[in-house]
Amino acid sequence: MRRPLSLRAPHRGGWLILSALVAIGAVAALFTLNNLENEARANEQIARRYIARLDQTISELTPLGAFLSQRNPKLLSRLISTGASVGRSDRLAVMRVDRGRAMEIEQLIAELIRDAADDSTDLVRAAMLTGRARFLADEIATREQRRADRAERLSLYGSAIVVLLALASVGGLVARERRSTLRAAQLHAAELRHLAEHDGLTGLANRRAFDAELERFHQRPSSQTVEIAVCDLDGLKTVNDRDGHHHGDQLLIDAADALREAVGTHGTVFRTGGDEFCVISTPGSSITHAVRRAMSGEGSTATGSFGVAHWPSDDTDAASVVRLADERMYAAKRARAPVSVARP
């Protein structure tokens, strides 16, 4: 018996899992880049705020210090010490951002405070120390700004890549679905062709396939001899009437299996009617003895009569060869002989 063709579409789970993993990885990378950008922006703000504090200190020292350095050096020292102490929380924040530069800034601030404590503050020296601290803080701010800008660019590139990956995944899924649909349609078409050209009970090629094969005989080279056998079962009607159609169907299946096994690769077996079978040999092969064994009931419960004719020696028209084999089958049936055959 034939096996029905499978219409199940190819498995898509692996592709979906791969697409999901790529998407998760891309989103995680974007999340990390976004965090890096936010952190760098925050560090930049810390450094900028600290620069503003230092700028304020310098702006206060410059005009006032020029006067106080002549009039009241102690007051100038206290102003410097107070200005250096302002924004300690900002200095600690800068320490967390860039410890190396922050430590150098701390040393500069310490020198300012020490000079103020010793009442030995010089306006120019104080401005130089504060300016150096401002320069270092500006370096931190510039570096963090660059880090943030770089992370922002990478985020933009990453977003573009995610979009491209999403489009590629969707496109891949659509293309895969189209291939799956096309494959299912092809399988369905093949199944319909198989059903149209095969007998549902026995799985043999049917009358339509037999007629199509006869149409192709005009393409065969006439130097290749082909045998065509027409077979008719004995007693199918009796079995149907006496035992029921189920037993009659089983008889047909037994006959089909016997013919198929006996003929093998030497020909093709067709069920062309209710209790009628035909066999077309492969070019140059003989099927007469194989069909005789099958119709004699050897190995099965089915028996019958058959006739054989040869193409092109009996006739060059394939349909005429079939009619001749059919006449010989009926002659054998009337004579109660298992076969009627004429050799070329």
Element (H, E) at 267: strand 267-271
DSSP 128: H
Query: Which residues does 162 contact at the CB level (< 8 Å), separation at least 6?
Result: 23, 26, 27, 30
DSSP 277-308: EEEEEPTT---HHHHHHHHTTTTSS--EEEEE
> Are residues 218 and 159 located together in one domain of the fold?
no
> Are residues 162 and 18 located together in one domain of the fold?
yes
Range of the domain at 33: 13-169
How confident is the chain (344 residues) per 10-residue block, as mean pLDDT?
Answer: 45 64 74 76 72 63 47 50 51 60 68 59 62 70 76 75 72 78 87 88 94 90 90 90 91 94 95 95 94 85 91 94 95 70 42
Cα–Cα distance for residue pair 86/82, rounded to 1 Å:
6
> Are residues 261 and 163 located together in one domain of the fold?
no
> Are residues 164 and 215 located together in one domain of the fold?
no
Cα–Cα distance for residue pair 79/56, rounded to 1 Å:
12
Helices (H) and strands (E) in the chain, counts: 10, 5
DSSP 53-68: HHHHHHHHHHHHHHHH
Output phi, psi for 232, to 5 deg: -135, 125
Report residue 254 CA to chain centroid gap.
45
> Are residues 241 and 332 located together in one domain of the fold?
yes
> Are residues 330 and 246 located together in one domain of the fold?
yes
Q: Is the residue at 334 inside a domain?
A: yes
Task: Decide which of 169, 197, 226 is a domain's last residue.
Answer: 169
> Are residues 102 and 224 located together in one domain of the fold?
no
Domains held by the chain: number: 2
Q: Is the residue at 176 inside a domain?
A: no
> Are residues 35 and 159 located together in one domain of the fold?
yes
The CATH number assigned to the domain holding 274 equals 3.30.70.270
> Are residues 251 and 303 located together in one domain of the fold?
yes
Q: Output the pLDDT for position 6.
A: 46
The CATH number assigned to the domain holding 150 equals 1.20.120
Task: Decide which of 169, 192, 216 is a domain's last residue.
Answer: 169
Cα–Cα distance for residue pair 53/51, rounded to 1 Å:
5
- Point out which residues pair with 270 in neighbouring strands: 205, 278
Please say whether the beta carbons of 121 and 79 come within 8 A.
no
Q: Are strands 226-233 and 304-311 parallel, antiparallel or unpaired?
A: antiparallel
Please say whether the beta carbons of 294 and 272 come within 8 A.
no
> Are residues 36 and 109 located together in one domain of the fold?
yes
pTM over 0.75: no
Q: Is the residue at 221 inside a domain?
A: yes
Cis peptide before 312 (omega within 30 of 0): yes
> Are residues 160 and 289 located together in one domain of the fold?
no
Cα–Cα distance for residue pair 202/276, rounded to 1 Å:
12
> Are residues 165 and 214 located together in one domain of the fold?
no
Query: Which residues does 96 contact at the CB level (< 8 Å), separation at least 6?
Result: 102
